[in-house]
Amino acid sequence: EPEVTQTPSHQVTQMGQEVILRCVPISNHLYFYWYRQILGQKVEFLVSFYNNEISEKSEIFDDQFSVERPDGSNFTLKIRSTKLEDSAMYFCASSVDRDSPYSNQPQHFGDGTRLSIL
């Protein structure tokens, strides 16, 4: 079964540094997402991406964050200048099969990247 893959599984970065988290969504999907889960808290939506542009974003997704689909397979989340509070598990997800775009389709999640800011 196709799956969402994320790299790296764990990223350690100094505060103030830029970090790029990478994801390969399921190949036939149209929508891509980033979520984060701070330790002990619930999963929070960051941003969704469709047709090469941001379709929805939350208040968390400020100017320090950006997303990109640099080629036909990768989807990246960049944090420009990391802060201690950016430490969290970041999940990528994808959904909506292009062959059946109108059915109730769930989002499929990767295993996440644990980001630790020192």
Q: Is 22 or 111 the residue whose CB approaches another protein more closely?
A: 111
Which letter does DSSP use for residue 81 in this model?
S
Query: Would you say 14 or 42 has its CB closer to another protein?
Result: 42
Closest by CA position to 107, among listed 22, 39, 50, 66: 50
Give the alpha-carbon dihedral of 109, 114, 117, 118, to 10 degrees: 180
Shortest distance in whole angstroms from residue 100 CB to another protein: 10
* Nearer to another protein among residue 19 and residue 90 (C-beta): 90
Binding positions for another protein, rule: CB under 8 A: 4, 6, 30-31, 33, 35, 41-45, 48, 50, 55-56, 58, 91, 93, 95-96, 101-112
Q: Which two tokens stand for residue 91?
A: 């999940």
